[in-house]
Structure 1
Amino acid sequence: MDTKLIKTFGEDILQYRLRTARQKKRMQYEDFDKYLIQLHKEQKALYLQRWQLGWELLNPPVQQGWKRYFVLREDVMNNKHAEFFTSILKKINTVHYSWKKDFTVKRKKFGRKVYVVRQQGLLEPDELHFNRLGFTEAEKQMFYAYFCMDSSGKSYLRYAFVEPWRFVLVVKPHIIYKVRKMDAAINKRIAEIDNYLKRNDYEKRQQKIIGGKYRYYHFVDKDIPNNDFKNKPVTRIIDMIKET
């Protein structure tokens, strides 16, 4: 409450709960944040409703492009250890999808656009993912560890299969046997909310108030020793060097 109003009309003015311009402005921001939270809750409820609609069988099934994945090589499949390598392949296999059977992608080479085959390899999980895949002790012996560097310059371990030649890539039609059921009203409302948030650039604000996604934290590496010369004048640094 503004003190000028109290001096002018006395303390009885407090019972009317009049708000200053600053309080009114803050309430507008708070009301808008509550509206963004309400939209987020509505979005979650709509996505859940759409997911609970279930599946619808296609009759007849349709082909939607191609898929490429690894299988055991023919000589390995006829070997007595085929079951052992099949168990490993189930955990490190990868599947790629493409509209083109040859799995080529467009690339630039010497200023010209050329088509090259899209590369595909076996899964090379990090240490945490590797331990979660449930390998037996015998299966773990078929992997070797090597160090990689992430975008922040920190190294971490990855595990690669020792004998990738045991597996070969095959290309098969990607057949769709069922699709999710759709509701026009639900899809329309989801699109309206998404367009409203994106058109007005409210997504960042919404994510910040519901989960703090856009907060930034300062991490300090404890392994790095303290710098004695930091935030000190040059003359003091020279004296410190002479003292040492």
Structure 2
Amino acid sequence: MDIHDLPYRLKSARRKKRLVKDAFDKKLIELDKQRWKLRCQIRELPPIPLEKPYQSGYIRYFILRSDIARSDKAEFYQNLLNKINVKWWHHDKSFKKKKRRKGKYLYSEKEQKLREFDPEEFHSAKLNLSDAEKRCFYLKEIWDARRQCWKPTYAFTEQWRFVLVIRPHIIYTAKQIDEVLEQQLSAINKFIDWNNHWPRIRKLKDQTNNRWDWDFYEFPKYINEFKNKPKYTSKEAYLDH
């Protein structure tokens, strides 16, 4: 059958370029999906037990106080501690950080606190806090230096029930390495990095590149009192509206 007998339409030069670009975009999306699958496969590889475990620094975390551990509510507070505990690693047992100030080196210790949650995470099903556990928290506002605004945060009320302990950090297992998966992942990363395709992939995935999600928010220091007041002064007020 001759193509002239059909309602055949030749592609214009512009359409041909568009098809080539669309095909390349589909290739980038497929490479990104393949990269993600390879990373998941590498992450899910079972660890290898070591014949001779070794120590790698120290770890500091919270445990129940001795009198709380012997009380009737020991199981309740232990389950709660498993959700809000914070573990820090340090190469030195003192857990002091070296800091230069006025030409001198000083060693300062950073205060370690329990986990604090924003309202969305606090009420999420992933955290899975019971009503009795939620009553152990109080709502406070902390200053967010990055966004230059106050944000609500839920913090544990009775932190005195837990004490900090420092224990040696012992390594018992090693990460398993699959050379085939590593080579495939390295080849994809090299192709994307060397050709600078990350901005295009972010755009195809509708991810922000150089954009801030708080476009509707105005910094307090930039607010002019003589102008009209902003409609929304925080992200929470915008969401409630």
Is the TM value for this pair above 0.5? yes
Aligned equivalents of 2:74 and 2:44: distance in 1?
40
Q: In structure 1, the residue corresponding to 2:169 is in which secondary structure?
A: strand
What is the CA–CA distance in structure 1 between the aligned matches of 2:80 and 2:37, rounded to whole Å? 39
Q: Answer whether contact 1:127 1:159 (CA < 8 A) is retained.
A: yes
User: Bigger shift: 154-163 or 198-207?
Assistant: 154-163
CA distance in 1, matches of 2:79, 2:12: 70
Write the distance in 2 (CA, Å) between the matches of 1:38 and 1:152: 35
Deviation digits for residues 94-130 of structure 1 (CA, Å, limit 9, x no counterpart): 1112233222223232244433223311111122322
Question: Aligned partner of 2:173: which letter?
Answer: K
- Deviation, 1:143, is 2.4
Q: What residue identity is the alignment partner of 1:67?
A: I
Instruction: Return the index of the structure with the highest Cα Rg.
Output: 1
Total equivalences in the alignment: 210
Once the two structures are superposed, the pairs formed by residues 95-174 of structure 1 within 5 Å of their partners are 95-132=87-124, 133-150=127-144, 151-152=146-147, 155-174=150-169
**Bigger proportion of residues as helix:** 1
With 61-70 and 47-56 compared, the bigger mean Cα shift is at 47-56
CA spacing shift, 1:100–1:130, aligned 2, 3 Å: same
Structure 2 partner of 1:190: 185
Long gaps (5+) in structure 1? 1-10, 222-228, 231-244
Q: Judge conservation of contact 1:204–1:214 (CA < 8 Å) in 2.
A: no
SS in 2 for 1:120: coil
TM-score (norm 1): 0.70
Question: Per-residue deviation at 1:75?
Answer: 3.5
Indicate the percent of aligned positions where both proteins have the same amino acid: 33
Q: In structure 1, what residue type is equivalent to 2:10?
A: R
Q: Which amino acid aligns with 1:141?
A: R
1:37 Cα deviation from its structure 2 partner:
1.7
Q: Tell me which amino acid in the other structure corresponds to 2:21.
A: Y
1:80–1:173: structure 2 CA closer, same or farther, 3 Å change rule? same
Please name the residue that 2:172 is paired with.
Answer: 177
The one of 37, 44, 61 equivalent to 2:53 is 61
Q: Which amino acid aligns with 1:147?
A: E
Output the aligned Cα RMSD: 3.2
CA 1:199–1:112: 2 relative to 1, 3 Å:
farther
Unaligned runs of 5+ in 2: 218-226, 229-241
